[in-house]
Amino acid sequence: MYTNDETQRLTFAQVSKAKSRLYDIRIRVHVYPPFVPEGEEPSNYFNYSRFLVPRDVCYQLHCNCARLHTQLVEYSKILMLCMTTTKTGNWISTVDVVKTLTTNTFSVLQFKDTYEDEQLEKYKTLRMQLWASYRI
Ligand SMILES: [Zn+2]
């Protein structure tokens, strides 16, 4: 996803077939925060693509609990799919869990090595075609 001009890094969101709400131009999804390793500064650089997936998220609207809640995102801001099920039922994913960074409360995911360059280039190209040019 590309959320705004200030955010250059990739932003990831999860669509749940059963629980995400689809609207005319928006969809309600969980937007995952970036994963920042301890001692590192947060970065907006494109290749900064690790993200954090809490084990327990909340699907309630207008709820004040401490879990992650859904946000409305325009379809036009979704630039590429990283995980999906094909028509024949095969699960394909260009991101994978980083086991060494994963804890009991969250998983950390990033692009698989085999997809990293291809996906980042695709994202940069789409982002520039659809939106403003980026600064690094
Ligand atoms: Zn909640």
- pLDDT tens series, the chain, 136 aa: 877 666 778 899 998 777 777 888 899 999 999 998 889 888 878 778 899 999 999 999 899 999 999 999 988 888 888 988 889 999 889 999 999 999 999 999 999 999 999 998 888 888 888 766 666 5
Amino acid 132: pLDDT: 67
Assess contact for 79 and 89: CB atoms under 8 A.
no
Domain residue spans of the chain: 12-130
Round to whole Å and give the CA distance between 105 and 53. 9
End-to-end CA distance of the chain: 18
The DSSP output letter for 46 is T
Q: How far is the CA of 91 from the centre of ligand 1 (A)?
A: 29
**Residue 126 Cα, ligand 1 centroid: separation in angstroms?**
33
pLDDT of res. 112: 93
CA 33 to centroid of ligand 1, rounded, Å: 16
**Which token pair is 128?**
């520039």
Residue 136 pLDDT: 52
Give the Å distance between the CA of 20 and the centre of ligand 1. 15
Structure token pair of residue 56: 């327990």
* CA dihedral for 93, 52, 42, 69, sign (positive or negative): positive
